[in-house]
Amino acid sequence: MLDIALVGCGGMMPLPNRYLSSLLLRFEGRMLLIDCGEGTQVSVKQVGWGFKNIDCICLTHFHADHVAGLPGLLLTIGGSGREEPLTIVGPQGVGHIVRSLCVIAPEIPFPINFIEIPARGATDIAIPLTSYALSASPAEHNCPCFAFRVDIKRKGKFDLEAAQLLPIPRNYWKVLQSGQDIEHEGRLYAPDMVMGQERKGLAVSYCTDSRPPRGLAAFVRGSDIFVCEGHYGEDDKLDKAKSHKHMLFSEAAQLARAGEVKQMWLTHFSPAMPNPEAFIQVARNIFPNSHVGYDRMTATLSFEED
């Protein structure tokens, strides 16, 4: 099962009832966080999943409402007892940005590995020590910015009949099931000799601070949940959205429909929109399974039955 928590759903500045945009994912006890604006750690605390097992933090871009919460969060993760390395992923220059922010947090007790996303099309990102398959795709903002997709892969079923036909001891079957090759009597045996085709996994996509970028519908295609910014609810805010490189509810819904996602959560609301629920029908007229996000909104996704 994959647990999802929309830690915060505000844009630009926190409000008394709305923290800044951030998303937390949990799978098999290990966590991945996307964005970390001011006050993120307060809302993560309220979610109640702990801090120690946050293995990776992904930053869409370097505006303050997406990164200013990092020093405090990293200190809290350290205070929870974490000693193993943590990975931070972001646009080029992510190491410089985080190290600069953490001048005020010099006591972080664990190493930080930085992964810079190349400034090109959709790309896969290898994250050490996690169960998540992460990929990024360029967004369209007024600074380098990326959308993220997280996939939980699912192995095929073990093929007992195929395994019984192989001239290898039974105790090697588990090695092949774990994804490792083995050599026996001068011959190499690969996992695909005993495993069926990969089964359908789970996918969550996240895009904020962007105009509707070319290629994003294909990038999020088939996601179980698509978390997308809806900075403005009204269509008459289009000129403002274009000027500030943000999206309307209707534009987010068009992306969700084109990407054939299962459901969409709207997020990153303008501070000038205190009641985004008033505009949800704008999105639902285009993509019926649209939902207005709220702080600490959660869901649990399960693998489909075989």
The per-residue b/e assignment along 7-36, b for 16 or more CB within 10 angstroms, e otherwise, is bbbbbbebeeebbbbbbbbbbeeebbbbbb
Strands 30-34 vs 54-58: parallel, antiparallel or unpaired: parallel
Type of residue found at 227: V
- 128, two tokens: 């050490």
Residue 206 near residue 23, CB atoms below 8 Å: yes
From 3, 35, 55, 65, the catalytic residue: 65
Strands 264-267 vs 225-229: parallel, antiparallel or unpaired: parallel
Spatial distance between the Cα atoms of 103 and 36, rounded to a whole number of angstroms? 17
Active site residue 209: no
Q: Active-site residues: which are they? A: 65
